[in-house]
Amino acid sequence: MTTAVKDLKVSVCVVTYNQEKYIRECLQSILDQEVDFDYEVIVGDDCSTDGTRAIVQEFANKYPEIVKPIFHEKNLGPTDNYLYVHNRAKGKYVSHLDGDDYCLPGKLRTLASFLDRNPDCRIVWHRMHILNEHGQSAVGMPVVPIREFTGSNRLYAKDLAKYYGITGCHSGSMYRASAKKISVRNEPTIDYFFTLSFCIDGGYASYIDEPLGVYRWFSFENTMTRSKGNLLVGLGKLSLIRSYLASNPELAREFSAQCLFEFLLRLYFRQPLRWQYFKMLFKCRAFPSLSAFILIIKVFDSNRRKSLMRGYVDSSDVRFSTQNNFK
């Protein structure tokens, strides 16, 4: 396979930090993809202190025309590492994968084909198999697709603002490089900030019901996604709302629904930042419709962890996993 830039269709961007137990399976799952187009794999190792770097280098040596390693000499943090890697993507389409997740057969071909057939779609997700530390799996992200509530598979900027984070998994995404607008961010930022930016000036987001990847959901381990924590995610979401309210005030009503929802949720569970969301609600200078707020609650309730737990099956029934790497 050659990777001439002019023919490069997909860039797969992988971010990793101290994931020596998982990064091999992640990278191999990408290189095992059967496609009829050229692609590259850009791996950003954020100054790992375990054996992650050696494994990435091993793949780079074996697949020098495809795997392009980036070894940071100091830890940049998840936001800057994400941007550093994605800013170097040369493909028409860009797929993201966290180093502790992995692909299933057909992922790249299916997502790229969807974008080929839907020129107004800016970003598409596939659903994921959620794998826990017991080797059990459930289909999720989302557990219940939003189309079952809205009747539509097209999510525009107002929908993305309203349904924050319940639309797709970061490791299950592929977006058009032409839709990318953000190259620098001066504060810690959650991935949904970038997702919304793809559709902020038009186009829509969509998703594929078929699970084409595996997302690790471990209660005891500091994997890439778990390390964010409730506080950091909450701060990132406040930053997202603050930024987009300033540049896109037409989204105020949708963001107000999110602020009200977050305030009540955090008040009930005694979580931090509840009063920050209460203040942000008034900064929206708008109030959500009752129907929109009720719909958010329904979507959230159908996708929260207890719904996922009911879907777990024994590892003996899981046919997608080639190996389970647990402590």
Separation CA 161–CA 78 (nearest Å): 22
Q: What is the pLDDT of residue 167?
A: 76
Q: What is the mean pLDDT of residues 83-112?
A: 98
Q: Above 70 in pLDDT, residue 320? A: no
Whole-number pLDDT of residue 86: 98
Helix, strand, or coil here: 299?
Answer: helix
Going along the chain from its start, the domains and CATH numbers come out as: 1-101 (3.90.550.10)
Query: How many CB atoms within 10 Å of residue 243?
Result: 16
Contacts of 305 (CB under 8 A, 6+ apart): none
* Predicted structure pTM score: 0.89
Residues whose CB is less than 8 angstroms from the CB of residue 51 and which lie 6 or more positions away in sequence, other chains included: 20
pLDDT-based confidence at 293, cuts 50/70/90? Answer: confident
Given the DSSP bridges, would you call strands 8-16 and 38-45 parallel, antiparallel or unpaired?
A: parallel
**How wide is the angle at C-alpha 36 spanned by C-alphas 322 and 58, nearest 5°?**
50
Distance CA 273, CA 151 (A): 33
- Identify the pLDDT of residue 72: 98
User: Nearest CA to 155 among 227, 199, 205, 201?
Assistant: 205
Write out the two tokens for 25: 């399976």
Beta bridge partners of 121: 204
Does residue 41 sit in helix, strand or coil? strand
Q: What's the gap between Cα 231 and its chain centre? A: 18
**What pairing do the DSSP bridges indicate for beta strands 121-131 and 204-216?**
parallel
Q: Which residues, 6 or more positions from 233, have their beta carbon under 8 angstroms from its beta carbon? A: 190
Contact 249, 286 (CB under 8 A): no
CB distance 106 to 211 below 8 Å: no
Q: Could you tell me which residue, 49 or 167, shows the higher pLDDT?
A: 49
